[in-house]
Structure 1
Amino acid sequence: MSFSSFYAGLTGLKTYSSSLGVIGNNLANLNTIGYKSGRAQFAELVSQAFGTATNGAGNVLQAGLGVRLAGVQSQFSQGALQATGLVTDMAIQGNGFFVLRDANGARMYTRAGNFQFDKDGYLVNPAGHRVQAYTQRDALGRIQPSGDLGDVLIPLGLQSDPQATGVMRMLLNLDAEADLAAPPFATSMSIYDSLGAEHDLTMRFTPQDTNADGTIDQWLWEAVLPASELAGGGTGDTVVGSGTLQFDGTGQLVSPTTDQSISIPAWANGANAQTVTWQLFDPDSGDPVVTSYAKSSVLSDTFQDGFPPGELQGLSVDASGLITGTFSNGQTQELAQVAVANFNNPGGLLKAGDNEFVATVGSGAAVIGEAGLGGRGSIAAQALELSNVDITEQFTDLIIAERGYQSNSRVITTTDEVVQEALSIKR
C-alpha cells in the first residue's frame, strides 16, 4: 500500500502551522503603527503520475502529494489615520513609503511615520534611522524637490538670519494749510541694519512754498539718524537723505515721479552700509501714498522689509511633505521636504524589522519624489497610519486554519488506523 497519505497529511500540518504563525503575527501587530498584514499563500506539491496510464477520456492518472507554503504576501491596503497633535507625526494617504537611512548609509522604507528629533536635531524613527528629505534651496530660499536626498536636521535654537531694511513705505498726509513759519513735521519709523539691530529713522518735512491760495504745495523732506549710531560717531543728527515733494491743487503728489533713495553709511555697531528705497507709490496700484490735503499732518501706517534674527518657535508640515519653520521675528522658512518612495511591486519588499522594508530585485528600484505626485500619496500631518489588520478577518482565517490543521491530523490518524488494520491481517 502507498504511504503518500501520511506525507500529504504531514505537509498539511506544516503548512497550516505556518498559516497559524502568519495569523498570530498579524494579531500580535494589531496596534503596531504602519503595520501591513500578511496573508499565507498555499500551493500544491507536484502530483504523482502513475506512469503513462490514462483513463478512457485520455486524462493522465495522477495523485497529489500534499501542499506547501508558497509565500506570505504583505497586504498594502490603506490603514486608518489617527490624529495625534504631534508635529513630527506623519502618515501617507495613498501609495508610497517614507525613506530612511541607517548609520551605514543603507536605505530603508517604512509606512510608520512616528518620528521624533534625536539629541542632535535629526528627525529619526524609533530605531534611530534618519528620515530622508529634499534640503536644497533656490536663490529665494525655497526647497527644490529634486536632486540628492539628505537628513532632516533642525537643531534646537535654530535661528533665521536678519534682513537689513531695503524698502520702506509711509502712508502719510502733510497739512496743506500748515504755517510756513511753523516747526517741521517730524515722524519716525523703525528700520533694521544688516546685523538685525533696530534703529529709529526720523523723517522731517518742512514746508517750502505755497499756491496762490496760500496752501502748501512744496515740502522739503529729510531722513535723519543720530550721528552716534553711525560709523565715526559724533553728536547731533546726520541727514542721510533729502529731496523735495511737489503737490498739485488737489493734494496729489506730482513730483518726484519715482521712489527716493536713502543712503546710510556703515553703522557704529559694525553693520554694513545700506541703501533704503522710500516708496512714494503703492507697488500694486501705482497711486501715491503721500498726500497733502487740508488736514493735520499725520502718519497713518508704515511698512519696511527688514527684520531682526529670530528663534524657531514652531513647525508645520503640508500635504507635499514640506516642513516650514515659524520664527520669533514673524518670518517663516522652508526647512526640508520629506521624500516619498514608490515601487512597481511593493509585495516584493523584504521586511527588515522595526516596521521597515528594504528593496529587492522583486520589488524593483524605488521611485522617489514629491508626495502627491507621480502616483505617490500625500502627507497627513500630525497623524499616524494604524495597522491595517482586520481582526474579524483574522479570526475567520484562524478558524479556517485550525480546521485545516485538524483535518490533516485526522488524515494521519486515519492512515495509521488503516496501516494497523493491514498489519493485523497477517495475525
Structure 2
Amino acid sequence: MLQSFYTAFTGLTADKDWLSVISDNIANVNTVGYKAERAVFEDLLARSLVTFKNGAPVNKEIGGGTFISTTVKDFSQGTFMNTNNSLDLALDGEGFFMVKDEAGITYYTRNGQFRLDANGDLINMQGMKVQGWELDENGNMVGAVDSINVPMSIEPKETTSVSFEEPTNLDSRAQVVTGTFDPADATTYNYVNSITVYDSLGNSHDLSFYFRKVGSNQWEVYVYLDGSSITNSTLQFDSNGNLTSGSPITVNATLTNGANNLSITVDMSRVKQVASDFIFYAQQDGNSKGDIMSIAVSEDGVIKATYTNGEVKDIARLAIATFRDKEILVRKGSWLYMPNVQTFTPIIMPGGVISKIRSGVLEMSNVDIANEFINLITAQRSYQANARIITTDDQILQETMNIKR
C-alpha cells in the first residue's frame, strides 16, 4: 500500500522538474543564441519476479515510478534577427564562437553580440575576448588561435615600390612625337598620369609619369615628383606588345620636410603596347596615418577594418569550434558552454568552413513557445493525476484503518 504513495511521489517530483525545464525554456525565449532543453524521463523498477506456468516464464514487474534522468539540448538553428550592427554575428550552420576570460579559460557560445573595447580587442558582452587567427599582409593566417585585436589606427608607411598592373596599355596607334620634351607643353608627349606616394612621415607626393612615343615600339617615360624631374627611361616593346627593356625604374628623391629621402622601385614589366586606348593602372605600397572608420565581417569570418586614409586591411579570421558530442556540453550561464570531462576535444577551423558567418544579424532562441505551452499543459495534467493517486491511496488507507472498527 505504502509503495504506491512513493510511486506517485516520484511522478510529482519528475513533473516538478519538468515544469522547471519548461519554465526555463519559456523564460529564455528572447535570449540570443539560447538552445532549448528537453527533459528525458526514465522509469523506476521497484521489484521483478519471474515464475513459470506450464513450463513458460511469467513476469511480474511492479514499477516504482519515474524520474528525469537527463536533459538534452536542442541545437537546431534559431531564426535570425537583423540589427544592422556589423559586429553582431550569427552562425548559419554548425559550430560555436570561442571566447576567453581573464583567467585564460575558453568558453563556447552561439551568441555573437560582439564589440570593440577601448584597446581594440574584440569582446562579447561580458568582456571575454573573441578568438581567431591574425592575418598577415597577404591575408594568410599566422600563429595560433588567440584574442583578436583591431588596430585603432595605422602608422604612416613609406612608399618603396610602385607596380604597373594589367590592363595598363600604351596605344600602339599613337603618333610619334618629335622635339624636346617639355612637361608644360602637351604637344611634346602623348600621355600623362600620376599616382600618390607617401614619405616616412605620411606626407603625400605626386609621382607623375609622362609617356611619349619616339619610334616604332619605343617610348620614353619621364618621371616627376611634385613637379620636379627625377629620372627617365626608354621602354622597348616587341611585335606582340610585350615590354622587353626599360623596367624597373629607380626613383630617388631628396626631401626637405624632415622625412627620409624617397627611394622607390617602379616595376613596369606588365605594361602592354597594343592597339587599344591608353590605360593607366598602378599600385603603391605606402600610406598616410589612418584612424579606424568602420569594421566589416565577411561570410568566411574575415574581419576587415577601413581607415580614414582609404586603407582596407584584413585583420583577423574568426575561429569556429565544433564538437562530435555537442549535446552533452555543460551550460555555464550567460550564453556560455564548456565541455565536460568526457567531451571530445573540439575541432577548430576558420569561419566559413562548416558554417557561414552572417554579419549584422543575431541568432535568436530556438524555443518553440507553442510546443512549450503544450508541454506545460501536459505537465500540469500529469502532476494533477499523480496528486490524485496520492489522494486515492490516502482514502484506501483510511478505509483499511476503518476495518478495525
Interval containing the TM-score (normalised by the shorter chain) = 0.7 to 0.9
Instruction: Give 1:128 deviation, angstroms.
Output: 1.6
The size of the alignment, in residue pairs, is 391
1:387-426 matched pairs, under 5 angstroms = 387-426=365-404
Structure 1 match to 2:230: 240
Give me the whole-angstrom Cα distance separating, in 1, the residues matched to 2:242 and 2:39. 83
Conserved? CA contact 2:45–2:62, under 8 Å: no
Conserved? CA contact 2:301–2:318, under 8 Å: yes
Q: Give structure 2 stretches of 5+ with no counterpart.
A: none
Deviation per CA, 1:333-388, whole angstroms, max 9, x where unpaired? Answer: 11111111101111111000001101113432211112332xx3221111111100
Instruction: Give 1:142 deviation, angstroms.
Output: 1.1
TM-score (norm 2): 0.84
Deviation per CA, 1:171-191, whole angstroms, max 9, x where unpaired? Answer: 667763655698864756344
Structure 1 stretch displaced more, 125-134 or 197-206: 197-206
Structure 2 match to 1:102: 101
Matched, 1:274 2:248: no
Structure 1 match to 2:252: 264
Q: Out of 284, 287, 294, which is 1:314 matched to?
A: 294
Q: Out of 159, 162, 169, which is 1:167 matched to?
A: 162
Matched, 1:223 2:213: no
Q: 1:39 to 1:54 in 2, by over 3 A?
A: farther
Give me the whole-angstrom Cα distance separating, in 2, the residues matched to 1:204 and 1:43. 86
Matched, 1:153 2:153: no
Give me the whole-angstrom Cα distance separating, in 2, the residues matched to 1:338 and 1:143. 13
Bigger Cα Rg = 1
SS in 1 for 2:382: helix
Structure 1 stretch displaced more, 347-356 or 261-270: 261-270
Structure 2 match to 1:384: 362
Conserved? CA contact 2:243–2:269, under 8 Å: no
Give me the whole-angstrom Cα distance separating, in 1, the residues matched to 2:57 and 2:306. 79
**Paired AA for residue 379 in structure 2:** A
Conserved? CA contact 2:176–2:212, under 8 Å: no
RMSD of Structure 2 on Structure 1 (CA): 3.4
**Paired AA for residue 162 in structure 1:** K
Q: 1:413 to 1:258 in 2, by over 3 A?
A: same
Structure 1 stretch displaced more, 28-37 or 180-189: 180-189
Structure 1 match to 2:139: 142
Q: Give structure 1 stretches of 5+ with no counterpart.
A: 228-236, 292-298
Matched, 1:353 2:333: yes
Deviation per CA, 1:146-194, whole angstroms, max 9, x where unpaired? Answer: 7521112125x32265351522658667763655698864756344144
Conserved? CA contact 1:39–1:73, under 8 Å: yes
Q: 1:360 to 1:206 in 2, by over 3 A?
A: closer
Give me the whole-angstrom Cα distance separating, in 1, the residues matched to 2:242 and 2:22. 83
SS in 2 for 1:426: coil
Identity within the alignment, %: 29
Structure 1 stretch displaced more, 403-412 or 182-191: 182-191
Give me the whole-angstrom Cα distance separating, in 2, the residues matched to 1:55 and 1:266. 112
Higher strand share: 2
Give me the whole-angstrom Cα distance separating, in 1, the residues matched to 2:276 and 2:285. 21
Instruction: Give 1:419 deviation, angstroms.
Output: 0.3
SS in 2 for 1:115: strand
Structure 1 stretch displaced more, 10-19 or 195-204: 195-204
1:63-82 matched pairs, under 5 angstroms = 63-82=62-81
Conserved? CA contact 1:281–1:289, under 8 Å: no
Structure 1 stretch displaced more, 25-34 or 310-319: 310-319
Instruction: Give 1:241 deviation, angstroms.
Output: 1.6
SS in 1 for 2:389: helix
Matched, 1:305 2:284: yes
